[in-house]
Amino acid sequence: PLVHRPLSESGRKVQTGNINAAKIQVQHPAAKSMIEISRTQDEEVGDGTTSVIILAGEMLAVAEQFLEQQMHPTIIISAYRQALEDMLDTLKEISTPVDTSDRSMMLKIVHSAINTKALSRWSELACGIALDAVRTVELEDNGRKEIDIKKYAKVEKVPGGIIEDSCVLKGVMVNKDVTHPRMKRMIREPRIVLLDCSLEYKKGESQTDIEISKEEDFARILQMEEEYIQQICEDIIRLKPDLVFTEKGISDLAQHYLMKANISAIRRVRKTDNNRIARACGARIVSRTDELREEDVGTGAGLFEVKKIGDEYFTFVTECKDPKACTILLRGASKEILAEVERNLQDAMQVCRNVLLDPFLLPGGGAVEMAVSKRLTERSRALTGIEQWPYRAVAQALEVIPRTLIQNCGASTIRVLTSLRAKHTQDNSVCWGVDGETGCLSDMSSLGIWEPLAVKAQTYKTAVETAILLLRIDDIVSGHKKKDKEEQMGGQGAE
């Protein structure tokens, strides 16, 4: 099975243990598609990456017999399409709406997402953290909900301490110290100005030469530089901020002026961090100092302080009134532990986000697959003609999920699966599935194992679509370019 893999902030690098799966060079085109879909699933809903692969593989496996019987791929494909529609309809039917404001229910959902992971020991803590973080970054923009975890809920990993120390800050933290040692390191209710211009003398854009003939001219030039910096600083000072963040540098002179005005300055803040600070304290990022207005100043934060954690200084802007961004502070014994915790949290936050965006739930533990499989088998009886066979095969393919679950617990696959099938033939037994720890049958609703509808729907769509995509391919022709010297000579030969 594929290892669950986090995507970095830019979304390109994917780590499986320590292999970058985004960079795995697979020669086989079908395998390429498989890696792609697991990535897609991760980026879209953040869960079910393994299920997608297993399902797509199984869909292709069951199609094989039809191809051997010379049935044309288009027929199989149209049956699959039909099956997909019916699957999605069935999902809608068996889903239960969820009240997103009910905290205990939400915690249960998140819990089911992480109780199989390494975090399960601290699952109470983790669920709380994930829920708080997602709730914070949730934005209602003219009727459309936007929850951007990647941008606004930053996970900061600080080695040291114990996992129980982790928390969601009501605000933002950056790994920086104030630029000048005499600046204040703690300010209550700071007025914050965010810049993305440098507070130092700008050299000309192009290379400029100045010829100086008299000594006074040289002094004059230096004076102009100083005046320029003084001007910028005065632009800032007239707003009486307590705190200035800039994405670029601050020259010594500028530090001096700001320090005299009792303003703490922090330079070279990452752009992403600046955006988070902006959303947390309500400031606007200004790109030129002479355009600073009163409404650009952020007053939403309750506390600014610089703390030393471990051997690094961290700047906290916390106790914000209505923050729309947050930082999750993770503590733990070692980098490895932190990385693992971060991955699990990412999953938990994705689950929260999916439920908030699409508040419907389905039972987990392979129960859905069995229910859908049963529905499809029933529907297939109504179909006439050759299409009913591939349609029924989809129903069989779905059973791979509960089957894999049973295998993973080391229980007897055939026995449990048969009894699960029997269970699903009875009425209102939609919620029965496999208990992932014991491998026995159990009622998922009583165990509280739920999955968001968005994840399941996406999994099915992606899996079936991929199967269809690969079925359309009848043959693979591959030619490699020679990577040697010939390429520079312009002679490209196919191997």
Beta bridge partners of 313: 308
Q: Is residue 301 part of a domain?
A: yes
Q: Is residue 89 part of a domain?
A: yes
Let me know the angle formed at the C-alpha of 396 by 394 and 401, rounded to the nearest 5 degrees: 100
Q: Taking the mean position of all CA atoms in its chain, how far away is CA 447?
A: 27
Comparing 27 with 367, the larger pLDDT belongs to: 367
Q: Which two tokens stand for residue 89?
A: 């309809």
Our count of domains for the chain comes to 2
In this prediction, residue 476 carries a pLDDT of 66
- Least Cα distance to 33 among 56, 10, 51 occurs for 56
Place of tokens 């149209």: 78
Shared domain check, 457 and 389:
yes
Shared domain check, 264 and 178:
yes
In this prediction, residue 85 carries a pLDDT of 92
pLDDT (mean) for 445-458: 81
Shared domain check, 370 and 287:
no
Shared domain check, 185 and 288:
yes
pLDDT (mean) for 155-176: 79
Q: Which two tokens stand for residue 142?
A: 């003219």
Shared domain check, 65 and 176:
no
Shared domain check, 402 and 458:
yes
CA-to-CA distance for 391 and 83, rounded, in angstroms?
6
Say how many CA atoms lie within 13 Å of 20 toward its Cβ: 8
Q: Is residue 53 part of a domain?
A: yes
Residue 433 maps to which CATH number?
Answer: 1.10.560.10
Place of tokens 């000594």: 215
Q: Is residue 118 part of a domain?
A: no
CA-to-CA distance for 347 and 367, rounded, in angstroms?
21
Q: Is residue 128 part of a domain?
A: no
Q: What is the pLDDT of residues 126-162, one digit of tens each?
A: 788 888 888 777 777 666 777 777 777 788 887 777 7
pLDDT band for 441, please (50, 70, 90 cuts): confident
- Least Cα distance to 96 among 359, 361, 429, 357 occurs for 361
Q: What is the pLDDT of residues 51-78, one digit of tens each?
A: 888 888 888 888 888 888 888 888 888 9
Beta bridge partners of 360: 97
pLDDT (mean) for 94-112: 77
User: Does 482 score more than 80 pLDDT?
Assistant: no
pLDDT (mean) for 422-450: 80
- Least Cα distance to 117 among 354, 449, 347 occurs for 347
* Share of residues in the chain with pLDDT > 70 (%): 86
Indicate the residue among 322, 351, 386 that finishes a domain: 322
In this prediction, residue 10 carries a pLDDT of 39
User: Does 490 score more than 60 pLDDT?
Assistant: no
pLDDT (mean) for 20-40: 71
In this prediction, residue 25 carries a pLDDT of 64
pLDDT band for 479, please (50, 70, 90 cuts): low
Q: What is the DSSP string of 391-432?
A: HHHHHHHHTHHHHHHHHHHT--HHHHHHHHHHHHHSTT-TTE
Q: Is the Cβ–Cβ distance between 195 and 244 less than 8 Å?
A: yes
In this prediction, residue 369 carries a pLDDT of 86
- Least Cα distance to 192 among 114, 122, 285, 112 occurs for 285
Q: In sequence order, what are the residues at sequence separation of 6 or more whose Cβ sits closer than 8 angstroms to the Cβ of residue 102?
A: none
Q: Which two tokens stand for residue 96?
A: 């239960």
Residue 285 maps to which CATH number?
Answer: 3.50.7.10
User: Does 18 score more than 50 pLDDT?
Assistant: no
Q: Which two tokens stand for residue 265?
A: 């300055």
Range of the domain at 225: 171-202+217-322
Place of tokens 């869909």: 59
Q: Is residue 27 part of a domain?
A: no
Q: What is the DSSP string of 330-364?
A: EEESSHHHHHHHHHHHHHHHHHHHHHHHS-EEEET
Backbone angles phi, psi at 172, to 5 degrees: -130, 150
Q: Is the Cβ–Cβ distance between 477 and 72 less than 8 Å?
A: no
Q: What is the pLDDT of residues 217-246, one digit of tens each?
A: 788 888 888 888 888 888 888 888 888 888
Shared domain check, 417 and 366:
yes
Q: In sequence order, what are the residues at sequence separation of 6 or more whose Cβ sits closer than 8 angstroms to the Cβ of residue 119?
A: 126, 340, 341, 344, 345, 348
Query: Angle 388-398/400-409 helices, nearest 10 degrees?
Result: 30
Q: Which two tokens stand for residue 244?
A: 């200035």
Shared domain check, 194 and 309:
yes
Per-residue H/E/C for 239-251? CCCCEEEECCCEC
Q: What mean pLDDT value characterizes the chain?
A: 78
What does each C-alpha distance from 189 to 152, 274, 299, 303, 319 come to in angstroms? Answer: 22, 18, 7, 5, 9
What does each C-alpha distance from 475 to 58, 320, 431, 468, 471 come to in angstroms? Answer: 20, 60, 42, 15, 10
Q: What is the pLDDT of residues 314-341, one digit of tens each?
A: 888 877 777 788 888 888 878 887 888 7
Q: Is residue 280 part of a domain?
A: yes
Shared domain check, 376 and 287:
no
- Least Cα distance to 85 among 474, 472, 361, 468 occurs for 468
- Model pTM score: 0.67
Let me know the angle formed at the C-alpha of 343 by 338 and 345, rounded to the nearest 5 degrees: 90
Shared domain check, 227 and 284:
yes
What does each C-alpha distance from 21 to 25, 35, 245, 350 come to in angstroms? Answer: 8, 8, 37, 20
Q: What is the pLDDT of residues 260-286, one digit of tens each?
A: 888 888 888 888 888 888 888 888 888
Q: What is the pLDDT of residues 349-385, one digit of tens each?
A: 888 888 887 888 888 778 888 888 888 888 888 888 8
In this prediction, residue 204 carries a pLDDT of 64
Shared domain check, 455 and 396:
yes
Shared domain check, 230 and 177:
yes
Comparing 204 with 270, the larger pLDDT belongs to: 270
Q: Is residue 393 part of a domain?
A: yes
User: Does 308 score more than 50 pLDDT?
Assistant: yes
